[in-house]
Amino acid sequence: MTARRTVALVVAAGSGSRAGGGLPKQYRTIGGKAVLAHAVEHLRCAGVEHVRVVIGAGQETLFQTAAADLALPPPVPGGTERQHSVRAGLEAIAAGGGADRVLIHDAARPFLPRAVAARLLAALDEHQAAVPVLGVVDTLARAEAALGDAIERQSLVRVQTPQAFRFAAILAAHRAWPGGIATDDAQIARAAGIEVATVPGDAALDKLTFEEDFARAEERLARRLVTRTGIGFDVHAFAVGEALWLGGLRIPHGRGLSGHSDADVVLHALTDAILGAIGAGDIGDHFPPSDPRWRGAASSTFVEHARRLVEARGGRIDHVDVTLICEAPRLAPHRQPMRERVAALLRLSFEAVSIKATTTERLGFTGRGEGIAAQAIATVRILEDL
């Protein structure tokens, strides 16, 4: 028996934003990453490999930016109403070979817990459709000019997404839908005579709608950040005829350092420290000395690349500290400008960057003035594995 093919259909076609922020909410970032990207990653983490995204007219560029690191198939153009977008997505999945099961999800619900996905898929063993629901805890009442009658809430639930369906059943239901606005796919399924099972939902699935929802989502992500530190070390030899680059600054000196790039030991040690903190290998893995592209390259490229890798993990650099080891040049006059330059490259405050210098009392290769060494340490916070 072959494994059943489960596809997630993420609806990201909305254009409005009650939350403000100038962008449709699914393309706004939380924790440095688009809401849509969080939604896709949580689906994958829950075991759904195949994800199709439906976008609105004119959202191609927003999608490309939001999904740059997600390796998704091309987005499906949506329609004017949510149900039209879902229908377009289902038809695209059908045209692409179909599926056995589909999870239809809103991009504005970025934090799908694995347990909810497991409950939904298990329910599909017995039922053609299943949705996550939560009880209503607040008192509900009608309101006109003044507060009206309370509404009995015991029998009410809040319906969330993803909503799970056997693919053929929901595709047929959408094709048979007579028109009119449907607020979700369970409604369309029920109209086609499909019984919709319920499983317990989760507050983590609440839709991001208002500005305060985004603040809460940022806090939720911040609680999941873990602190990591990384260490870096680099040495380059002095050579005549080279410029001396340290910490992204050209330092006036009779001799410079030799190397494949600009041989900036400060930025090389820093790059390795940051890469080390996120377990992303070392500078040679990302910028092989054998690659002619990096001949004479400004090392700011390397350290900015490392910063972007941290950001791609939903993380941030908190602090870096560097020790330069050499007898000459005298570094005291350059430390403040170097801190400012490194802070700019890493988008840190001046206070979050430390640059120190020491000698080795004329001992060893640095003591003999043959080269410069640098040590660096970086403290970062990244999102723990989803």
Closest to Mg ion by CB, 235 vs 348, is: 235
Closest to Mg ion by CB, 184 vs 234, is: 234
Closest CB 268 distance from Mg ion, rounded Å? 4
Closest CB 287 distance from Mg ion, rounded Å? 10
Q: Which residue's C-beta sits nearest to Mg ion?
A: 268
Closest to Mg ion by CB, 75 vs 259, is: 259
Strand ranges for the chain from DSSP E = 6-12, 29-30, 33-34, 50-55, 76-77, 101-106, 129-135, 140-143, 147-151, 157-159, 163-166, 196-200, 225-239, 244-246, 249-251, 256-257, 316-325, 353-358, 371-383
Closest to Mg ion by CB, 50 vs 268, is: 268
Given the rule CB under 5 A, which residues bind Mg ion? 234, 268
Closest CB 105 distance from Mg ion, rounded Å? 45
Distance (Å, whole) CA 7 – CA 152: 37
Closest to Mg ion by CB, 268 vs 307, is: 268
Q: Give 348's DSSP letter.
A: -
Q: Give me the residues paired with residue 191 across strands.
A: none
Q: What b/e readout covers 93-107, taking b as 16+ CB neighbours within 10 angstroms?
A: beeeeebebbbbbbb
DSSP per-residue codes, 205-231: G----SHHHHHHHHHHHHHTEEEEEEE
Closest CB 265 distance from Mg ion, rounded Å? 6
Closest CB 331 distance from Mg ion, rounded Å? 18
